[in-house]
Amino acid sequence: MASWWLFGLAIVFTLVSFVLSQLAIKRQLKYAEKYYLEEEERYLKEKNCPAIWTEYVNYVSGIFFVIAIVTTICFVSTNIKGGSIMANISRKSTNDGAPIPSMQRIRTEIEKRGAPIPGMQPVVPTSSSQQSSSQGSQSGVNAEKTKK
């Protein structure tokens, strides 16, 4: 959680440094105009406060960024180590948990209950096949009667 806050602060300070640097550039341009065009000697050594603040804010944002990276690395390494510890704990808990039931014995033929399944029976010719063969023989008889 701290690393997120530090990354956020690093971003905010970086954005603030952008604004400060723009102010510092505008002020420095005014100083240059006063010194070069209006020949006012005091603007040569005039302090530019936004420029000074920009430097400090840049250093602070850099420090926040480095600390954020370090805290992120610590977080990740702790969780990787913690992950292996959690794996060991989960292995222990499975060994210490409820016992796994043993296999049940298959019942023998004598122990089985219920009616036995009948075996396959041979196919008996149906009456339709007998009728077609008898009709075929009758048609042959009818054909002979018509010839006579």
* Residue 34 pLDDT exceeds 80: yes
Which residue ranges make up each domain of the chain?
2-93
pTM beyond 0.75: the answer is no
Q: Please answer whether residues 6 and 64 qualify as being in contact, where contact means their C-beta atoms are separated by less than 8 angstroms.
A: yes
Query: Measured at the alpha carbon of residue 74, what is the angle toward residues 70 and 77, in degrees to the nearest 5?
Result: 135
Q: What is the band of 13 on the pLDDT scale with cuts at 50, 70, 90?
A: very high
Residues 38-83 pLDDT 10s = 999 999 999 999 999 999 999 999 999 999 999 999 999 988 877 6
Amino acid 121: pLDDT: 80
Distance between CA atoms of 11 and 79, rounded to whole angstroms? 26
| Cβ atoms within 10 Å, residue 92 | 10
The torsion angle over the Cα atoms of residues 109, 110, 113 and 119, rounded to 10 degrees, is 40
Distance between CA atoms of 56 and 63, rounded to whole angstroms? 11
Q: Please answer whether residues 75 and 20 qualify as being in contact, where contact means their C-beta atoms are separated by less than 8 angstroms.
A: no
